[in-house]
Amino acid sequence: MNSWMIPYILSAVSLMLLSPWLTYASVEPVAEHLQFQSDTNILTVYRHEDGVIKGCRVVNRRSKPHVTRTGEVSFNPTPVSEEFVTFMIGVCDETYPISRKHTRQKRQLIFPGTKWCGVGNIASDNNDLGTLVATDTCCREHDQCNVTLGPKEMKGGLQNNDTFSKVSCLCDVKFRECLKRAQQQGEKAAGTVGDLYFNFLKQKCIIMETPPHVCQKWLQDICIHQVPDPQKESIFRLVESNLKY
């Protein structure tokens, strides 16, 4: 058995054994809730207007096929793969563990068949790729963007409170183009990764602004040449990428 499959098998078993209802966050005001349907589960994701995920609710379709725990009726949930549901459960569990006893083994938030697509990576070195080589190559290049702000990291005056890293808008454009090529080469999973990142998670991207300028050359009392202040770091600004896959 491949090692990357273990967290996903554990997730599937937990869905069958624990309860028909799994909630990954306390109820709180959210801007929207989205529903997705796999062969066995309905996943409701609660998200703030800033795009940050605040929790999930998973319903086993065999027990309650159309109604969630709070009485919400399914509104034409989007059909998705079981891998999509399991990955999103991992995202929610990372942010809001349902309980200590159910999260003794922390899930690796890595998409099946890859070692770089997700939160962090599980590669042994830079040349180590998963079985989905083309898709994983895209994720590796994206992870190694020259402008990156990791989860909970602060840089350039910007704090990243999300589970996922933020990268420059240019790197996001290149990532989408790379995934499109991988999908055209026959790796359908590239489409799922692109759909997750751009259409569902709607990740924001970074615009880097130069730091304040200082005068390098004066002519009497007039500055005739300015340069970025070497004592100051570049300023990061988070913007909506508006990229769709």
Q: Catalytic site residues?
A: 142, 172
Which residues lie below 8 Å from residue 142, measured CB to CB, with a gap of 6+?
A: 116, 167, 171, 172, 174, 175, 178
Amino acid at 227: V
Longest CA span, the chain: 82
Kindly list the distances between the CA atom of residue 4 and the CA atoms of 55, 107, 152, 161, in Å, as whole numbers in the listed order. 24, 10, 25, 27
CA distance 71 to 89: 21
8 Å CB contact between 25 and 92 = yes
Residue with tokens 């830079």: 126
Which residues lie below 8 Å from residue 64, measured CB to CB, with a gap of 6+?
A: 20
CA distance 12 to 19: 12
DSSP 173: H
